[in-house]
């Protein structure tokens, strides 16, 4: 049965967009201990990526007493804070380097068939966006949390004017290929 939610004004029911509509990945699970006078208090911290593989992505950090609660919180936060990323075909439009805290990540567009060459945290973010061909280099911290956020902010900082230019070039090249293909068939 579909999960239905009533409008706040008592209006019609509508389908609630759930996390299940998106691709979701757990990037890292950490066990965090707080030492108190009595004993150690254990909690869990989880970072996850949620995306639709069509250019939308969100990162979430969730904390809880057990892993299930922390994972649910991180997925919910990631879905609520999704951003749209402009991609060209199945790669990024231009090279970008971004620094976030102690992490630095460089992303480069790659040709078809290259795949996603990246560390696990950066790879998770890129794959849920829908990027299939990209080269990356992790320069700096090895912390998965910092690297995931760094890749996320690098994707958010892609230049819109360059994207529009690249998208126009991509369409022209695709039209030329289609015209050549049609002339060979006739």
Q: What is the pLDDT averaged over residues 76-103? A: 92
CATH value at residue 32: 3.30.160.20
Domain span including residue 110: 86-159
Q: What is the pLDDT averaged over residues 27-51? A: 94
- 14 and 67 assigned to the same domain: yes
Q: What is the pLDDT averaged over residues 97-103? A: 94
- 56 and 90 assigned to the same domain: no
Please determine, for residue 173, whether its predicted confidence score (pLDDT) is greater than 50.
Answer: yes
Please determine, for residue 7, whether its predicted confidence score (pLDDT) is greater than 70.
Answer: no
Residue pair 59/78 in contact (Cβ under 8 Å)? The answer is yes
Query: How much of the chain exceeds pLDDT 90, in percent?
Result: 65
Instruction: Give the Cα separation of 16 and 2 in Å (integer).
Output: 9
- pLDDT recorded at residue 175: 81
- pLDDT recorded at residue 42: 93
Domain end (from 83, 118, 133): 83
Instruction: Give the Cα separation of 138 and 118 in Å (integer).
Output: 8
Q: Work out how many domains the chain is built from and give that number.
A: 2
- pLDDT recorded at residue 159: 78
Predicted TM-score of the model (pTM): 0.77
**Rounded to a whole number, what is the distance in angstroms from the first to the last CA of the chain?**
51
Mean pLDDT of the chain: 87
- pLDDT recorded at residue 80: 94
* CB-based contacts of 129-132 (< 8 A; 24+ apart in sequence): 129/51, 129/53, 129/55, 129/56, 129/57, 129/85, 129/87, 129/155, 130/51, 130/52, 130/53, 130/54, 130/55, 130/87, 130/90, 131/87, 131/90, 131/91, 131/92, 132/90, 132/91
In a domain, 183, yes or no: no
pLDDT digit string, tens, across residues 152-172 = 999 999 877 777 777 788 888
């Amino acid at each position: 049965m579909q999960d239905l939610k009533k409008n706040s004004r008592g209006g019609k029911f509508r389908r609630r967009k759930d996390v299940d509509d998106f691709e979701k990945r757990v990037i890292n699970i950490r066990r965090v201990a707080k030492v108190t006078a009595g004993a150690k208090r254990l909690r869990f911290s989880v970072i996850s990526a949620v995306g639709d593989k069509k250019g939308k992505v969100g990162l979430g950090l969730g904390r809880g007493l057990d892993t299930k609660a922390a994972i649910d919180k991180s997925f919910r936060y990631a879905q609520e804070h999704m951003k749209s990323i402009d991609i060209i075909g199945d790669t990024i439009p231009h090279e970008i380097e971004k620094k976030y805290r102690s992490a630095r990540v460089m992303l480069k567009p790659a040709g078809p068939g290259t795949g996603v060459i990246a560390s696990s945290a950066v790879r998770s973010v890129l794959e849920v966006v829908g990027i299939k061909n990209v080269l990356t280099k992790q320069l700096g911290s090895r912390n998965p949390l910092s690297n995931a956020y760094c890749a996320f902010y690098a994707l958010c900082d892609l230049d819109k004017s360059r994207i529009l230019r690249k998208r126009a070039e991509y369409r022209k090249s695709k039209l030329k290929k289609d015209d050549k293909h049609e002339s060979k068939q006739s």
